Structure 1
Amino acid sequence: MDRTQLIEATTGNAAHNGDGSRLTPEHVERALDAVFGTVEHPGSIAEALRRGETVVLGSFGSFRTDGETVTFRPGKALTEYLRSATE
């Protein structure tokens, strides 16, 4: 899945799981840029990691730094979802 596909999928998921209000692909793109960053501007995750913080995204997982390396540890819900998809 590339960036464009992620934006499209997220826009669709928000439409099906929301309260009736619609997010546009532009809204989703701006939110993704703010969280994950772009080449020109770091996102919220990168800024927190630079400060030495661990970023915990609920049961999805967490990001942390180990020196100059960033590691992702999947959370329980993501692990169980992926495990059930392979069975």
Structure 2
Amino acid sequence: MDKSQLSQMTARRAADAPDGGPLDTDDIGRILDLLFGTVEQAGAIAEALKAQETVTLGSFGSFRADDGTVTFRPGTALTEYLRDQTR
């Protein structure tokens, strides 16, 4: 799945959510760029990692940088979902 497909899927899910409203795919793409970065500009996650901060995204998981290498540790909810063990 590329960024465009992820943006489209997110827009569909937002439109279907009972507590939300429609989101524009271009705005979602812009948010992804701001979070994860582009070739031209680092995103908020990269900036935090470079500052030696751990980035925790709730039950999704966390990113951490050690000696220039980034590691991702999935959260419990993501792990359970991928193993079909959701509560």
TM-score by length of 1: 0.91
1:29 matched residue in structure 2 = 29
Could you say which residue in structure 2 is the equivalent of 1:12? 12
Shift of 1:22: 1.6
Residue 52 of structure 1 and its aligned partner are, at CA, apart by 0.3
CA RMSD of aligned residues (A): 1.4
The structure 1 segments of at least 4 consecutive aligned residues displaced by more than 6 Å after TM superposition are none
Aligned residue in 2 for 1:81:
81
CA distance in 2, matches of 1:36, 1:18: 27
Q: Any unmatched runs of 5+ in structure 2?
A: none
Distance 1:32 1:18 in 2: 23
Percent identical among aligned pairs is 59
Give the TM-score of the pair, scaled to structure 2: 0.91
2:2 aligns with 2
Rounded Cα–Cα distance in structure 2 between residues aligned with 1:7 and 1:14: 10
Task: Give unmatched runs, 5+ long, in structure 1.
Answer: none
Q: Number of matched residues?
A: 85
